[in-house]
Structure 1
């Protein structure tokens, strides 16, 4: 039995890693776990006592012909058989009730402790997930991440209460019963454990197979969740392009593979259970064969044999539990390893050692020989250098894929450059703490994301300390106050997911209000008016003019009419700043910007800017 912990560790190597990784959370519940463990010991003690009243009934009432003078409890000697029988049967009930109460306290206490531990782990996991860099999120599917935060944590909690705790309880009982069995008769005890080596060999070999299949199944379930999340998130496109059958086929393929894995786990677990039952029958037969002989020779009493048989069936119960819950424990271990893998992921972008809280920015921005790539050997920006003075408005123009959005992503420090540096007010971005940097930059995107909370909350996400007056002032600046007040509950109206029940112009104006309430000295506008009709475009443009007044502003746009008034225009193509200057200067220069502008002016359709930019060479 001394090798048992080692074998379990070898069969389920992730368990030690899980307990080690979550030890700080477990230690916080040490009082509750300690009390539950004491209740567990009490349950084990009562379970060991359960067959002894029955032994006394057999040995001193039934078999002995009512010879109660030999009872090992002096206080009971001399009592009549009916009284003794009443006492012993009452003891059976009392022991069972006491064991049930101890088991209840142990199970409930451990369940509460496990829930509190897993709640903290889930919170830490979600917090960590929010701080992982965009480079990580671009490689991992969102559905798989959601599965880890929700389903994997829950599976780990359930396995702790419904599998690990019963298994541990019965292992304690097994140790106690083996001790009592050897005390009663070493020969029968030796026969009882003769089947253990066979069990250990078959169980742990099967356990390894179950764990491998379970880990594969968890990966498939994560892939299914990712496929479902992707399809549901883009349901409008899916239905418009009639892609349902294609996506259903991909999901069905993954679902069938997961089903096969699940069925294989069940087959392995069922085979293990049947093997255990056969070993129990073998051990029981051996003990009965030799035990009856010992009773006939009066080496042991019939009650002793009765205790042995009772203990034997109970002693093998942990084996049944291990066989029954091997699949569940293996799946939980796989889930725990997936959680740890996510927690161990290190953000590429994080506060550097010695980083300071950024002071209020004036808004001077410098790029010095900046080179950046998402993938090695494929630069998106190449040796980019420029300087923007506080309060200036800079327009980033050029063909799609040229590096404009990457440039402003670097300014937000969503990524770090491979070479060169970016400075705000003369100091490298990496010297500032991330939160203090990003809190001083507002951003309005082409497809601004709104959350399924109230309008007030959506705007206040720009500044969590904003008052109601500041929120309304920001909404008025964004030309959003009037249509917000026309909603059923005004600012308390809860929006649908991503604000899908609002028009594009309304979503943009709420997003502008969210940017305005932050009152940041630096503003980024990424195609904020694309796709809007003329009326909404005018309302949004007016709001943007008020938002950016006096602030350092970066505007990304293919519509060159919106960039004419910029203080500086950067024409970016293939990761390089090819032209720099004001609108008039670049027109006089007659380069690519001038060619693109004349094409747009002649055609009168700004959306062709992207297509014709490639021909401007």
Structure 2
């Protein structure tokens, strides 16, 4: 099995636990789908009987077709009803899974280390997340509303043709569908590289745009608006080239698909027409075969687009799941305890640390901060002052030595309780895109309005 196919199945397998949580609703939706297809296939059968009655018996046509015509309308209405039931039932499944995975993804990103977030571009991560969650909804939508219905309908129609007509009708139908699907898969797999490249260029362009806008003030200081636009245009040109290749290869695929369908339909209709001329088939049979082919090949005509979109969706989802597979660098140890802040005595004991092995930042650092006392750390830029705070918060762990609070090694303390016990004023001004009140309250969610206002007064920002 090709590696990309194995990757697709691995991605689908990763989605199954989420789908299993909604198995009852998913089962009801599939049941509605099957009933809809039975009703849909019944429509041409009833139409055949109506045509034969009008063609063979004009007297009976005044009475008997009325029941068939009513049945014809009921079957069409039934097909539409079950389709809408399927949509309504499955909506909770599709959107619920997107919500659960989005929450899981966001939680996982927050659990990853500071090193990961400093090394990765935020714009690229958010774009991967956006495409991934959108593609999950699209994937389930296409599977339940396109692929499965088409397969059910192909099976029902081929069974009816095989049971009632020359076996060659079913053989040619299956043969056409088989050639169509095989060709679609081969061409789509070939053109997937263009989609992957397009996604990569899209993420790079998004990252460039976000980075440029975040540093808006710096761009203005140096008057580099034109430079930023040129850099962004270079990224967008690469994306444009990949997008054009993706679209032109799609056009080639669509033509090949239409050509295969045209040949299959022509052969079957010639056989049906000859059957009517030879007296082996009625006019109603000809109408039945023609209607079946329309019902079958019209949705099948979209299979190439659907399969391409499924492959694209799986590619987008896989990029998101690759991030989910990233292991957090800092994890709570088994049996980690909750920190009792108590007096808050801090000790750094012979701490060594380096962000990269070839550039040590701290070596054999030892000092103590007694409870209730203040310590100032002075040094040139890059000497490791901020690194001390990051180690204390356990954003990183020292290569050797230890850091203790009230005699307990921070490695033996849960990260949540450790960080909840420490207050910090960041070196850089960091604000959420929200109100000032929200940003003040963020340090202690649930604080009363009075407490928020008092904190604002202490910071001299309350009118």
Q: TM-score, normalised by structure 2?
A: 0.93
Q: CA deviation at 1:164?
A: 5.5
Q: Which of 445, 452, 459 does residue 464 from structure 1 map onto?
A: 445
Distance 1:125 1:426 in 2: 36
1:23 is the counterpart of 2:16? yes
Pick the structure with more helix per residue.
Answer: 2
1:86 is the counterpart of 2:79? no
What secondary structure sits across from 1:393 in the alignment? coil
Structure 2 runs not aligned, ≥5 long: none
Distance 1:406 1:10 in 2: 42
| Partner residue, 1:524 | none
| Partner residue, 1:271 | 252
Q: Which of 275, 293, 315 does residue 312 from structure 1 map onto?
A: 293
Distance 2:67 2:459 in 1: 86
Distance 1:192 1:22 in 2: 33
Distance 1:36 1:286 in 2: 36
Distance 1:474 1:80 in 2: 90
Matches within 5 A, 1:358-369: 358-369=339-350
Mark the structure with the bigger radius of gyration: 1
| Partner residue, 2:44 | 51
RMSD, aligned CA: 2.2
Matches within 5 A, 1:98-137: 98-137=78-117
What secondary structure sits across from 1:374 in the alignment? strand
**1:478-504 Cα distance to aligned partner (Å, 9 max, x none):** 342xx41x2xxxxxxxxxxxxxxxxxx
**1:457-498 Cα distance to aligned partner (Å, 9 max, x none):** 22221122433444344344x342xx41x2xxxxxxxxxxxx
CA contact (8 A) 1:133 1:414 kept: yes
1:198 is the counterpart of 2:179? yes
Q: CA deviation at 1:310?
A: 2.2
Deviation larger for 223-232 or 313-322:
313-322
Q: CA deviation at 1:159?
A: 4.2
Deviation larger for 200-209 or 414-423:
200-209
1:155 is the counterpart of 2:135? yes
- Inter-CA distance 65–83: structure 2 relative to 1 (3 Å threshold): closer
Q: Which runs of 4+ in 1 moved over 6 A?
A: none
Distance 1:356 1:467 in 2: 30
Distance 1:136 1:184 in 2: 64
Matches within 5 A, 1:258-407: 258-407=239-388
Distance 1:314 1:131 in 2: 50
| Partner residue, 2:224 | 243
- Inter-CA distance 117–421: structure 2 relative to 1 (3 Å threshold): same
Distance 2:209 2:242 in 1: 20
Distance 2:304 2:72 in 1: 29
- Inter-CA distance 187–326: structure 2 relative to 1 (3 Å threshold): closer
- Inter-CA distance 194–11: structure 2 relative to 1 (3 Å threshold): farther
CA contact (8 A) 2:30 2:144 kept: no
CA contact (8 A) 1:114 1:160 kept: yes
Distance 1:319 1:329 in 2: 15
Distance 1:248 1:304 in 2: 65
What secondary structure sits across from 2:342 in the alignment? coil
Q: Which of 127, 138, 149 does residue 169 from structure 1 map onto?
A: 149
Structure 1 runs not aligned, ≥5 long: 1-5, 67-78, 487-617
**1:108-146 Cα distance to aligned partner (Å, 9 max, x none):** 332332111101111221122122111101111010111
| Partner residue, 1:218 | 199
Distance 1:479 1:196 in 2: 72
What secondary structure sits across from 1:316 in the alignment? helix
| Partner residue, 1:572 | none
Distance 2:253 2:87 in 1: 26
Distance 1:106 1:435 in 2: 44
CA contact (8 A) 1:364 1:425 kept: yes
CA contact (8 A) 1:280 1:313 kept: no
CA contact (8 A) 1:36 1:105 kept: yes
1:189 is the counterpart of 2:156? no
| Partner residue, 1:140 | 120
Q: CA deviation at 1:397?
A: 1.0
CA contact (8 A) 1:164 1:329 kept: no
Q: TM-score, normalised by structure 1?
A: 0.71
- Inter-CA distance 274–89: structure 2 relative to 1 (3 Å threshold): farther
**1:149-204 Cα distance to aligned partner (Å, 9 max, x none):** 33431233134325762222112111221121211221221122233443233211
| Partner residue, 1:254 | 235
RCO greater where, 1 or 2, for CA within 8 Å and sep 6 or more? Answer: 2
1:414 is the counterpart of 2:395? yes
Q: Which of 474, 489, 497 does residue 455 from structure 2 map onto?
A: 474
Distance 1:10 1:384 in 2: 49
CA contact (8 A) 1:33 1:110 kept: yes
